[in-house]
Amino acid sequence: MDDAVRSALARDHPADLNQPGPERHRHFSGFDGLRALAAGAVVLHHAGFQTGYGINGRFGELLAHGDAGVSIFFLISGFLIYRPFVERHLSGRVSPAVGAFWWRRGLRIFPGYWVALIGIYLVFGFGRGGFNTAGDFVTYFGLTQIYDTTRYFYGVNQAWSLATEISFYLFLPLYAFVIRTIARRQPKRKMRVEAYGLMALVAVCVGWRLAWWAYDP
């Protein structure tokens, strides 16, 4: 492994390089402040929307863009869930088991979401939609409503972010596999391949947004 990579990994987590057993849970305290700022921005965004200040208030433009806090959460999540993959790649170890990865991610999302989904439906009902067909059960319990333009905000409105997160979980191991496959041809340039992969993702995302705006301005 490249000396610079080993030095960086050892500086952050000295025990990680030679740890024989399951990797320990890691807490990056530097993200705590970012999480607080992101949560505050989202709360202010919704408060501005509900009160009308996000449209006509003095700080309307600022409140209207508070939803950028969600993007911050996604960025933090992306770093945390991809780090084990890239760390093992750069250190020459095998990738985390995909099945175990998906299982752990599912346990973090679905049980709590299902409890909230049932509770909200029984106590408040859904603002849009309901459990009227078998397809409704599959859609809402499976967090697939974002893939149906007629049901995007049905069920629990805020669940769209969880559904998006699930898509990240499904995509990430496949992306890591592609990066590893490409890097096998240039084993001494693993870091460069990882960087190029991120640049390609950014280019695809920007291109997609531009195409979407052109299609539906």
**What is the torsional sign of CA 127, 131, 132, 133?**
positive
Q: What stretches of 91-159 show up as alpha helix (H) in DSSP?
A: 98-123, 134-141
* Nearest in space to 157 (alpha carbons), one of 125, 132, 113, 127: 127
- The more confident residue out of 59 and 32 is 32
Q: Is the pLDDT of residue 57 over 50?
A: yes
Of 86, 84, 120, 117, the closest CA to residue 100 belongs to 84
Query: Does residue 125 have a pLDDT over 60?
Result: yes
Mean pLDDT of 62-69: 84
* Confidence tier at 61 by pLDDT (50, 70, 90): confident
pLDDT band at 3 (very low <50, low <70, confident <90, very high): very low
The answer to whether the CB of 112 falls within 8 A of the CB of 77 is no
Residue 78: phi and psi, rounded to 5, are -60, -40
Lowest-pLDDT range of 44-58, 100-114, 189-203? 44-58
pLDDT digit string, tens, across residues 130-146 = 788 888 888 889 999 88
Answer whether 0.95 is exceeded by the pTM. no
Please state the domain extents for the chain: 1-94, 97-170, 185-217
pLDDT band of residue 25 (cuts 50, 70, 90) is: low
Give the pLDDT mean for 64-74.
Answer: 88
Are the C-beta atoms of 121 and 131 separated by less than 8 Å? yes
